Amino acid sequence: MSQQRKTDSIEIAVIGGGVIGLATGWRLARSGKKVVVFEKKEAGRGAGWASAGMLAPQTEAGYEQKDLLEFSLESLRKYPEFLRELTEDSGIKVEAGKTGSLFCALNRDDLERLQRFFDFRQRLGFPVMKLKGEETREKEPYLSPRVTASVFVPDDWHLDSRKLLAALKTAFINKGGLIHEDSPVTEILLDGKTAAGIKVLDPKTKTEKEVKANTLVLAAGAWSSQIKGLPENLIPPIRPIKGMILNLKAESCPLSHVIRAEGVYLVPKQNGRLLVGATSEEKGYDVSPLAGGIKDLLQNAFDIVPGISECPLEEIQIGLRPANRDHSPVLGPSPIQGLYYAAGHYRHGILLAPMTALEVSHSVLTGDFERLKPFSITRFFSSAAA
């Protein structure tokens, strides 16, 4: 339910109550600012709620994403302090487990991919190790005998993303923040080249109301490009990519590491669950679970861990990843005074939450955005427009 307090004199309005909006709002509230989060549905129940909670920049490093990789590694380094402060403010202890990841090969094509994966990470200086099939199964006995080799990435972490979101929501409220749920922002209001406020659909009357705000943070995830009011060149080019994860009860095959193979990953959780993901589907805003995606995930997972056939399927988790054209986020100030971006994190919202919250709030508070320049909206401007 929304908290019912007046919002006439909002200092900072955060548009979107997902992991990024809540983390950024919490940081700003921690600094003493009056912050209100507006969420179209229930805060904390978006893409982050449906994620596997992996903190794995070394495994997921892209070949042409140097700035994103550095930002991701820095965010992972900040996680221990981020979680310590979050526990302090929320009373909810969120722990990250450093289990490492095993990237496994089943056939010759997989072996070629595995070699490229290994060589690239070696060049980056990451402490990766190549293992034979027997050595891989010594680390993870439930793997299929078809596994011929693997690369072990020891520095990968993961956490319970739902617990993280519950902690962020509680911490934000405890530091004085307000959350208005079932309150979609329909338009960003401008006064020339200055942000003036927002239009919000009132959940009771179903009519739009104007809310004035000195500062706006656009953190609406996959919906960030759908909010009216911005000039066309300042609309972030974000589209939704549907991702589906299967939540299994894994007592029959308890794994010790994150397992990755072509087309699938398996993430064991402390509560006895095993997350199997993830599909990547261009289906607009449709979140229906498709039988083909479920079949492919289960088949790929069965090929690598045959014991999952005995695991009850408890939940199908579906989220809409917010993807920019280059799969990097849009962060920091816009050419509109008072409007800031914190959107488009694609698969990395949980991982990038500490750095995004820290640097976007720092930019709002001080005007300094040096660390965010690689992720500016201006990178999408044509040379003529720039």
Question: Which two three-digit tokens encode residue 353?
Answer: 């939450």
Q: Which long-range contacts (CB under 8 A, 24 or more apart) does 26-30 make?
A: 26/86, 26/89, 26/168, 26/171, 26/172, 26/175, 26/177, 26/357, 27/357, 27/358, 27/360, 27/361, 28/217, 28/361, 28/364, 28/365, 29/172, 29/175, 29/176, 29/177, 30/85, 30/89, 30/175
Q: Is the pLDDT of residue 7 over 70?
A: no
Percent of the chain with pLDDT over 70: 97
Average predicted confidence (pLDDT) for the chain: 95
Tens-digit pLDDT profile for residues 326-345? 999 999 999 999 999 999 99
Return the higher-pLDDT residue of 9 and 38. 38
* pLDDT at position 57 over 90: yes
Domains of the chain: 10-91+161-237+325-380 (3.50.50.60), 101-154+239-323 (3.30.9.10)
Q: According to the model, what pLDDT value does residue 8 have?
A: 57
| pTM of the model as a whole | 0.95
Residue 153: left (phi > 0), alpha (psi -120 to 50), or beta? beta
Q: Decide if pLDDT at 299 tops 60.
A: yes
**Which whole number is the average pLDDT over 227-233?**
97
